[in-house]
Amino acid sequence: MDLTIYDVILGPVITEKAYELNKILKKLVLKVHPHANKPLIKEALEKLFDVKVKSVNISVRKGKMRKVSRRQVQGPLIKKAFVTLAEGYSLDLLDQAGAGVISQENKIKSQNETLAE
């Protein structure tokens, strides 16, 4: 199966932990194609977003076994890439999602403050 650079990156992982990794350690957490490897991910990021990649680490989570009627079915395989950008480069894929997380935290704090009064 031949992958192009457009098929490799499926999207950012939008979680609080991924947001903190991006802001503090300048790491991106991305969902990638299950057949993508480190050099292909590095090449795709450098060409698509015009950034310099320092390192790429990959995590593969195999799907859980579940029962569907009488059968056992395995869930989907999820492959994530933790990308460290070189010094001086930044990429804010989580900017809009991070704003949602922060605004939601502020809503919870304001609700707690009104309940305390």
What does the pLDDT look like over 67-104, one tens digit per residue?
A: 999 999 999 999 999 999 999 888 877 665 444 444 44
Residue 18 has pLDDT above 80, yes or no: yes
Residues 38, 22 contacting (CB under 8 angstroms): no
Provide, rounded to the nearest whole percent, the portion of the chain with pLDDT above 70.
79
Average pLDDT, the chain: 84
Comparison of pLDDT for 34 and 104, the residue scoring more: 34
| Antiparallel, parallel or unpaired: β 65-68 and 53-61 | unpaired
Look at residues 99, 10, 89 and name the one whose alpha carbon lies nearest to residue 51. Answer: 89
pTM over 0.85, yes/no: no
Q: What is the predicted pLDDT for the residue at 36?
A: 94
